[in-house]
Structure 1
Amino acid sequence: MASVDSTGSSISSRLRSGDLLHAGLAVTLLLGVWCVGGLEVSTGKVSFLRAMNGSTVLLPCTYSSCIGIKNLYFRWDYNDNGTMIKLCDAVIPVEGIEPKVNVEHSRVEFVGTSKGNNISILLWNITFDDEGEYVCFARNPKEKNRNHSAIYTLIVVDQLKEADNTLTVIIVSVLGGVIGLVIIVMVIKALVVHFLLKDDEKNKECLVSSSGNDNTENGLSGAKADNKTTPKA
């Protein structure tokens, strides 16, 4: 019996261990699904910019990680016909610690902050030679050196084209005209109704006064007739 109890206890212990293992795997899978994105960098919803020659532009980039960062390495490069030219790079030790940025371009300024997961840069006094693709790259050792990059395209022009608002002006003018016409119609209708009501009131007054006069005349003639037919005492 002791051996049976021992065997049963051993089997029960194994079952519990198996349940714990399955539960652990399930939690791991759930965490894996939740963190499936891992490290990501983004240059925003619009990944290009059209700017005037001689202006200063912001090249935006932010990073995110579901498990946090440690010694996050980031870099900005300019794609010069297939040759990647480094503009700046740095390492962020942990979240909230500002990095010491190594800038390798005279017109580049780092304006990001680790407190906002921001690694954006400014490019001063752009020229037509600055047109092209800018690559924001990051690598997170905390995620087994997982890395990610995003491309931001800069288009340099002589002058920015003014938006053609002709269609908008036409639509607004038509709507304004229609609204004005409706208001005029409503005003005319209100005036017509007002004058018609006044005419009705005058007609009613005329009918009442005419009816009163008729009754008065009929009463007087009746009285005269009665006086004539009354016999003398």
Structure 2
Amino acid sequence: MAVEGRGKEAAVLSGNVPQTSLFLLPVSLSLEVSVGKAATIYAVNGTEILLPCTFSSCFGFENLRFWWSYNNTDTFKILIDGTVKNEKSNPKVKLKNDDRITLEGSTKEKVNNISILLKDVEFMDTGIYTCHVRNPKEYNLQHQAAIFLQVVDKLEEVDNTVTVIILAVVGGVIGLLVFILLLKKLITFILKKTREKKKECLVSSSGNDNTENGLPGSKAEDKPPTKV
């Protein structure tokens, strides 16, 4: 059993993993493609926009294929198709169906960037852009990620007035609560000191009364007994 386990480990490290075993491995160890956290990006008509895409694979890659596709309600087409030979090679374009597109990809610093730049965007460019990657080293395992591009006349300026007001109100409330807590502690401290002073006064006053009334420990004990 130990020999068999070492054999499987060696197969994984060498990349010679059976296809059935590949899908039993954690997803984090297989091919991943990302277009960033934003599901939608906006571009002003007539400008240019960068469509981001990166990939990663813990198994490495050889002759990796990537392509971008465009899709809306009426059209589906491949925009660009290319390959990446290995980790030391930059992506190369083999097919491009739109002259406005430029590959901005690079494998420098192990970023594995296959982003594209779309110039002179038009309203008809609005749609879903999907970045596809296929890795022969992982038995042609394929993964993709999509981003929605919305072309607009102009970018709307975000009015932060309401946000500023809300933050000011929240900050004021928090500040007031902190002030109340500090004031409460100060009042408690003053009351405590006042009670301590009152106790001292009462003890002192009680001692004086005992002296005058001739109780034990008072000056009355010093008087000589009355002669009969």
Tell me, yes or no, if the aligned pair for 2:70 and 2:127 is still in contact at 8 Å: yes
Q: State the match for 1:188 in structure 2.
A: 187
Distance 1:78 1:29 in 2: 30
For residue 129 of structure 1, report the CA deviation from its aligned partner: 5.0
For residue 92 of structure 2, give the secondary structure of its aligned residue in structure 1: coil
Q: Which residue of 2 aligns with 1:84?
A: 77
Could you say what secondary structure the match of 1:69 adopts? coil
Give the residue type in structure 2 aligned to 1:48: A
| Contact 2:35 2:145 survives alignment (8 Å) | no
Per mean C-alpha deviation after superposition, the further-off stretch among 89-98 and 127-136 is: 127-136
TM-score w.r.t. length of structure 1: 0.63
1:136 corresponding residue in structure 2: 131
| Contact persistence 1:109–1:123 (CA under 8 A) | no
Aligned length: 202
Aligned pair partner of 1:31 in 10, 15, 21: 21
RMSD over equivalenced CA pairs, Å: 4.1
- Kept after mapping to 2: 8 A contact 1:140/1:147: yes
Alignment of 1:66-145 (within 5 A): 67-79=59-71, 81-84=74-77, 86=79, 88-101=80-93, 104-106=98-100, 108-113=102-107, 115-123=110-118, 128=123, 130-142=125-137, 145=140
Asked whether the equivalents of residues 79 and 132 of structure 1 are also in contact (C-alpha less than 8 Å), the reply is yes
The TM-score with structure 2 as length reference comes to: 0.64
Quickly say closer, same or farther: Cα 1:180–1:105, change in 2 above 3 A: farther
Aligned equivalents of 1:181, 1:168: Cα separation in 2: 20
Work out whether 1:159 is the aligned partner of 2:156: yes
| Uncovered stretches (5+) of structure 2, i.e. residues with no partner | 9-16
The residue identity in structure 1 corresponding to 2:23 is V
Measure, in 1, the Cα distance between the counterparts of 2:18 and 2:136: 20
* Alignment check: 8 A CA contact 2:34 2:54 kept: yes
For the 8 Å contact 2:67–2:78, the answer to whether it is kept is no
In 1: Cα distance, 2:117 partner to 2:24 partner: 34
Name the amino acid aligned to 2:21. Answer: L
1:7-86 paired onto structure 2 within 5 Å: 28=18, 31-34=21-24, 40-44=31-35, 46=37, 48-51=39-42, 53=44, 57-65=49-57, 67-79=59-71, 81-84=74-77, 86=79
Q: Unaligned stretches of 5+ in structure 1?
A: 1-19
Partner Cα separation in structure 2 for residue 32 and residue 132 of structure 1: 34
Instruction: List per-residue Cα deviations over 1:7-49 (Å, max 9, x = no partner).
Output: xxxxxxxxxxxxx9xx99xx84763434697974522563513
Q: Percent identity?
A: 26
Q: 1:127 to 1:219 in 2, by over 3 A?
A: farther
Aligned mates of 1:96, 1:122 — CA distance in 2:
23
SS in 1 for 2:144: strand
Cα distance in 2 for partners of 1:67, 1:111 equals: 20
Aligned to 1:197: 196
CA contact (8 A) 1:39 1:63 kept: no
Q: Give the counterpart letter for 1:218 in structure 2.
A: A
Contact residue 33 and residue 143 of structure 2 kept, 8 A: no
- Please say which structure displays the higher CA radius of gyration: 1
1:72–1:92 Cα contact (<8 Å) kept: yes
User: What is the SS of the residue equivalent to 2:176?
Assistant: helix
